[in-house]
Amino acid sequence: MSSPPSPSEPAIEPDKEPPGLLDRDHSILAFNDRVLDWARRDDVPLLERLRFLCIVSSNLDEFFEVRAAPHLTALQLRDPSGTYSLDSFEALAARAHDLVDRQYSLYNDALMPAFAALGIKIVSHGERTVQQRRWVGEYFDREVRPLLVPVGLDPAHPFPQVANKSLNFIVRLRGSDAFGRENEVAIVKVPRVLPRFSRLPARVTPKGTLFVSLSSVIRSHLVDLFPGREVTEFSQFRVTRHSDLAFDEEDVRDLRAALRQGLEHRNYGQAVRLEVSAGCSGFLSDFLLSQFNLPAGALYRVHGPVNLVRLNQLIDLVADPALLFPSWKAALPKQLQQGSSIFQQVAMKDVLIHQPFESFDGVLGFLREAVNDPQVLAIKQTIYRTGSDSELMELLREAVRRGKEVTAVVELKARFDEEANINWAEALESIGAQVVYGVVGLKTHAKMLLITRREGRVLRRYGHLSTGNYNPRTARLYTDISVLTADAEMTADMDAVFSHLASQNRLPKLKRLWLAPFHLHKKMIEKIERVGQSAARGEGGRIVAKMNALTDEPLIRALIEAGQRGASIDLIVRGACMLPAGVPGFTDNIRVRSIIGRFLEHSRVFYFREGEDVQLYLSSADWMNRNMLRRVEIAWPVNDPDLRQRIIDECLVGYLCDDQDAWALDPEGVYRHVPRLGAQAHGVQQALMDRYGGSVKSNHS
- Active-site positions read 445
Cβ-based neighbours of 70, under 8 Å, separated by 6 or more: 83, 84
* Nearest-angstrom CA–CA distance, 628 and 549: 12
β-strand partners of 454: 459
Cβ-based neighbours of 624, under 8 Å, separated by 6 or more: 549, 550, 551, 552
Look up residue 208 and give its DSSP letter.
Answer: S
Burial of 70 by CB count in 10 Å (0-12 exposed, 13-18 middle, 19+ buried)?
middle
Q: CB–CB of 169/188 below 8 Å?
A: yes
Closest CA to 234 of 172, 301, 290: 172
* Nearest-angstrom CA–CA distance, 680 and 659: 9
The full DSSP string for 386-431 is --SS-HHHHHHHHHHHTT-EEEEEE-TT-TT-HHHHHHHHHHHHHT
Strands (E), 268-315: 271-277, 299-302
* Nearest-angstrom CA–CA distance, 563 and 590: 6
* Nearest-angstrom CA–CA distance, 276 and 165: 12
Look up residue 671 and give its DSSP letter.
Answer: E
Q: State how far the alpha carbon of 665 is from the alpha carbons of 30, 584, 669, in Å.
A: 11, 14, 6
> b/e per residue, 50-66, with b = 16+ CB within 10 A?
bbbbbbbbebbbebbbe
* Nearest-angstrom CA–CA distance, 261 and 271: 19
* Nearest-angstrom CA–CA distance, 191 and 189: 6
* Nearest-angstrom CA–CA distance, 346 and 509: 25
* Nearest-angstrom CA–CA distance, 23 and 70: 14
Collapsed DSSP state (helix, strand, coil) of residue 206: coil
In angstroms, the first-to-last Cα distance of the chain is: 66
Look up residue 306 and give its DSSP letter.
Answer: S
Cβ-based neighbours of 158, under 8 Å, separated by 6 or more: none
* Nearest-angstrom CA–CA distance, 678 and 660: 11
β-strand partners of 120: 209
| Cα angle: 514, vertex 519, 524; to 5 degrees | 75
Closest CA to 543 of 639, 614, 646, 604: 614
